[in-house]
Amino acid sequence: MKKYAKQLLTAALVSALLLCLTVPAFAASGKKINKVTQANQTYLYTQDAHPLNGNGPISITEGTLNRGGKKCKIYLVAMHGTETSAIGSSVDTYNDGLAGSEEEGPYMREIMAAMKEVIPKDANVILAGHSLGGMVGQQIAADKAMQKRYNIINIITWGSPLICGGKVEGELHRLCDTGDLVPYMGSNVATEGLDAAYDSTRHEEHWKEGTIFNTHPQSYGKASVWGKYDAVGVKGGDAFLKMDDSTTRFFQAPAIEGMGQFFEAHAAYKDGTNWSGVAILI
C-alpha cells in the first residue's frame, strides 16, 4: 500500500502543475552536422522528440563528444517530458507517478527497447531528458542491466527531480530553474522533506521573466539563462558535441504495447516555437 500511495501522491502533484503547462517545441539546427556547445542547445533534442508533432517522444542520434582535448563516439538519447494531450502515449502523469516513486513503467521500457534496437553493446551513451524524460533517464542510468550493456557517461536533465538517490552510472547534472516547482516533486521530497531536492547534482539558475506557469516549459531553452553550461551540463565546462542529425531516429512510446499499430493521428499547429494540439495512438 505504501508503494502505491507514493505513486499516487507523486502523480497527483505533477498532474496539478503540468495540466497548466504547455511545452514549446524548439527546433534544433536542421544541419547534418550540428555543433552543440551549450546545455540549452542539447535541450533542443528533447523538444524535437515531441509527441504532438508526430515524431514521438524519444530520439537517438549519433555524434561525437569532445572534452578536455579528447573525443569519443556517443549516442545521444533524448527523452521528452509529460504531454497530457498526447492520448495513448506513455508521456503521461501515470508514468510521472511511477518514475517519481522509482518504479519501472511503460515509458522507461519503451526507451530501453529503442536503445537496444539502435545502439550497439558497449557503446558510449549520453541520456538527456526534460521533466519526466529526465526522471526516466536517471532510472535507466541506475538500472544494472543497462549499466552492463552500455557505457553511460553522462545524464543531463532539465526540470527533473532527483531519482534513485543519484546512484547512477555516469555524471549526473540536473539543471533546475529556481522558479520551477517540478524538481521538488520527487517522492523523496514527499517522504523526507524539501532538503531531499538539493544535492551536488543540482545546478540552479533563474529566468527573471519566468512565472510559476511558464518557467518549467520555457526556461531551459534560453541561452541567456543556461548558456554558461556546456553541452553535458557543466557550468564553465569545455565539453561540446558534434551531432550527425542525419542519423536521428524517432520512436513513439505507447502507453500500452501495440497501441499506434491500428491508428495514429496528430492534430497540432505551431504558433511561433510552441506546439499545441492533440495526438492519439490506438
Would you say residue 61 lies in a domain?
yes
Quick one: pLDDT band at residue 2, thresholds 50, 70, 90?
A: very low
Whether the CB-CB separation of 134 and 79 falls below 8 Å is answered with yes
Q: How confident is the model at residue 281 (pLDDT cuts 50, 70, 90)?
A: confident
CB-CB contact of 82 with 92 (8 Å): yes
Q: In what order do the strands lie in the sheet with 151-158?
A: 33-36, 240-251, 58-67, 70-79, 124-130, 151-158, 171-177, 202-205
Cα 111 versus chain centre, distance: 11
For the purposes of burial, counting CB atoms within 10 Å of the CB of 195, is it exposed (0-12), middle (13-18) or buried (19 or more)?
A: exposed
Nearest to 52 by CA among 81, 13, 11, 20: 81
Who contacts 116 (Cβ-Cβ below 8 Å, separation ≥6)?
A: 149
Lowest mean per-residue pLDDT among 20-24, 28-32, 48-52, 144-148: 20-24
Cell matching residue 118: 539502435
Q: Is residue 161 part of a domain?
A: yes
152: left (phi over 0), alpha (psi -120 to 50) or beta: beta
Contact 80, 135 (CB under 8 A): no
Instruction: Identify whether 14 is part of a domain.
Output: no
What one-character-per-residue DSSP string does 57-89 give? Answer: SEEEEEEEEEETTEEEEEEEEEE----TTEETB
Residue 222 included in any domain: yes
Residue 22 in any domain: the answer is no
Query: What are the backbone angles phi and psi of residue 278, rounded to the nearest 5°?
Result: -145, 150
Residues recorded for the chain? 282
In a domain, 88, yes or no: yes
Q: Region 184-208: what's the mean pLDDT? A: 90
What DSSP state is assigned to residue 119? S
How many domains is the chain built from?
Answer: 1
Q: Which domain holds residue 224?
A: 2-8+31-281
Residue 16: pLDDT over 80: no
Residue 271: what pLDDT? 59
Report the candidate in 143, 199, 130, 201 with the shortest Cα–Cα distance to residue 171.
201
Judged by phi (left if over 0) then psi (alpha if -120 to 50, else beta), residue 225 lies in: alpha
The string of pLDDT tens digits covering residues 27-76 is: 455 568 999 999 999 999 999 999 998 899 999 999 999 999 999 999 99
Whether 232 maps to a domain, the answer reads yes
Q: Is 52 contained in some domain?
A: yes
Closest by CA position to 249, among listed 46, 60, 43, 30: 60
Q: pLDDT at residue 93 above 50?
A: yes
Whole-prediction pTM value? 0.88
Nearest to 264, CA basis, from 105, 78, 56: 56
Residues 6 or more apart whose CB falls under 8 angstroms from that of 225 comprise: 40, 177, 205, 206, 207, 219
